[in-house]
Chain A
Amino acid sequence: MAAIEANALTKSYGQTLALENLSFEVREGEVFGFLGPNGAGKSTTINILLDFIRPTAGEVSVLEMDAQAQSRDIRQRTGVLPEGFETYDRLTGRQHLEFALDSKNADDDPDELVERVGIADAIDKKAGGYSKGMSQRLMLAMALIGEPDLLILDEPSTGLDPNGAREMREIVLEEADRGATIFFSSHIMEQVEAVCDRVGILREGEMVAIDTVEGLRDSVSGGTTLRVSVDRIDNGVVNEIRALPEVSSIRTDESPPSLIVECNGSKTTVLNEIEEQGLEVKDFQTKEASLDEVFRSYTTEARV
């Protein structure tokens, strides 16, 4: 079952296309990372999911309900941490939570909620005095109310220090363990890497890749770099290795003699082939492409 299903979404503002024919699916129970540089259309997509804005064309269903026609029912079962929100300066944290509890007909304990997001000591202070990070935590607490089936978190780490970002990830994982589906957007790959089952990369309003973290790594040429120290360099062998389907490119290095293989498949196959060709493998190192590089390759470089 799909928690979110977007079908050929297009959103244009006059001549500017914010989203172009965007389709994707988020499965029930998964943690889905929605990744893209600023301005790629992440918030536009999320705003459509929540019916803050209406698509120019296409359809979205959330929790198997139409995002426009049944928005209230969707939001009853969804916790949201929106981007670019502001809390009510004149109301305390507790008043915010009571409003959310009222709104959702839920009966969670406000004190437990703030305890969980780490602002217990500020609950009776006016939100006007909160830092950005504290507002972010308060909004997260509001989002957690009533054990939502879906959590939509738009750039949840905004304003959080590294410690806060880690706590945010822990809460995300706890909620996922509870069985909630989590859809969270970010422009920073490493935040997504640690928690997401699958990642979709958005670029200029189009989904350019959607896969598991490993799948994305493998899909980028040079998924793994294998550096093999050998006893000598043999051009014949180099050509044999280059011909392997697992190998996308190979370079050599003279001192110490080594082969640097960009490898998409099984590293063992490559190492075995080197030995079979009569070279002695003295040592080898692998270096996996960081997801950051993967992300960069999808969002900045021209892809072939």
Chain B
Amino acid sequence: MSSVNPGSVRAIAKKDFQDAVRSWLFWGLSVFFFFIIVGLGALVGYLEDEFSTEALISILSQSTRLIIPVIAIVLGWKAIAGERESGSIKVLLSLPHSRRDVILGKLLGRSAVLTVSLVIGFLLAGAVVGIMIGSFAIGDFLGLLAISIIYGIAYTSIAVSISSLTRSTTVAAAAGFFVFALFYIIWNIMIIGLDMLRMQGYISGVEYTFTANGNRFQTERLPDWALFINNIDPGNAFANALTLTTEASGLEGAGMVQDRAFADGIPFFLQDWFSFVVLLLWIVLPVVVALLWFDRTDL
């Protein structure tokens, strides 16, 4: 069991920041996605007469939800496996650092790089779009930026953790993009599958009634545990957390959890604030796995 030394973590984070911030691949991706975001904003502004920050936030949140995991995984997959593959980890660990300092320092360093790129990207995109449409809801925009950073750190943690579990950067990259595909494709299919099972009667749903346009409707939803599985996806957690930090409508009620479906009130683990806990767990749990595993393994 090795100890954690804050000074070591700081030294590694600083070095790692200096190193990763000079990665052309990382900046290439960031610039590429920046143009996508600005392009989308411009497109929406062109198509809609009444272009609003709300619409922009909605579009931005959709695209960042997809883009951030890609950037974070590309930024993180080599964090430790790459150093083991090349042998530079020997430079790091010849110095008085513990394995745990390395994991934490790497996570800090790479999170800082991602944060810098997000801040720059958002400010640039905001400026460009702001000039285009004249007015701008800065509060919503900063809310989106804040949640994006937390979301990005969660995926960085996942990527750095994966990177510590293998000696091969190829395996680390494959595993990173598997996690990405897991949440973007498999997770959604799984939820649809669960809903189909409910409709077939294999899963007992929860009945509820609601009133719309003066008519009462009776319908059924997935049970709490299935909705919770849906909310575990970092992407969904990101979307749910956004409803709290931005005023933008269109995000409100977009998820599967809606007030009217819960006669006794929404259980705490399905409430929007709990998505912060989910994001936090996505930062903490991968790192804990990495701390435990990387401490024991031979380099």
Which A residues fall within an 8 A CB radius of B? 47, 50-54, 71-73, 75-76, 80, 82, 84-88, 90-91, 95-96, 99-100, 102-105, 139, 142-143
Q: Which residues of A contact B18 (CB under 8 A)?
A: 90-91, 95
CA distance A86 to B83 in the complex (A): 9
Category for how many chain B residues contact A: 20 to 34
Q: Residue A87 contacts which of B2, B23, B88, B299 (CB distance < 8 angstroms)?
A: B88
25 contacts between A and B (CB under 8 A): A47-B299, A52-B90, A52-B93, A54-B296, A54-B298, A72-B3, A72-B5, A72-B96, A75-B96, A80-B90, A82-B90, A85-B90, A85-B94, A86-B87, A88-B19, A88-B88, A91-B15, A95-B15, A95-B18, A99-B15, A99-B95, A103-B12, A103-B95, A103-B96, A142-B95
Q: Which residues of B contact A53 (CB under 8 A)?
A: 298-299
CB distance from B196 to the nearest CB of A (A): 47
Contact A142–B91 (Cβ < 8 Å): yes
For B298, give the chain A residue with the smallest CB separation: A53
For B5, give the chain A residue with the smallest CB separation: A72
Q: Given A85-B90, A90-B22, A96-B91, list of 18 further CB < 8 A pairs?
A: A47-B298, A52-B299, A54-B296, A72-B3, A72-B97, A82-B94, A86-B86, A86-B87, A88-B88, A88-B91, A90-B18, A90-B19, A91-B15, A102-B14, A102-B15, A103-B12, A103-B95, A142-B95
For B95, give the chain A residue with the smallest CB separation: A103
For B21, give the chain A residue with the smallest CB separation: A90
Total A-B Cβ pairs within 8 A: 86
CA distance A256 to B98 in the complex (A): 69
Q: Which residues of B contact A139 (CB under 8 A)?
A: 91
Q: Residue B94 contacts which of A80, A90, A91, A102 (CB distance < 8 angstroms)?
A: A80
Contact B2–A71 (Cβ < 8 Å): yes
Q: Which residues of B contact A72 (CB under 8 A)?
A: 2-3, 5, 96-98
Q: Which residues of A contact B15 (CB under 8 A)?
A: 88, 91, 95, 99, 102
Which B residues fall within an 8 A CB radius of A? 2-3, 5, 7-8, 10-12, 14-15, 18-19, 22-23, 86-88, 90-91, 93-98, 296, 298-299
CA distance A95 to B17 in the complex (A): 12
Q: Residue A103 contacts which of B2, B90, B97, B299 (CB distance < 8 angstroms)?
A: B97
CB distance from B85 to the nearest CB of A (A): 9
CB distance from A200 to the nearest CB of B (A): 22
Q: Which residues of B contact A84 (CB under 8 A)?
A: 87, 90
Contact A75–B87 (Cβ < 8 Å): no
Contact B96–A104 (Cβ < 8 Å): yes
Contacts A84-B90, A85-B88, A103-B8 given; does A76 touch B96 at CB 8 Å: yes
Contacts A85-B88, A95-B15, A142-B91 given; does A105 touch B98 at CB 8 Å: no
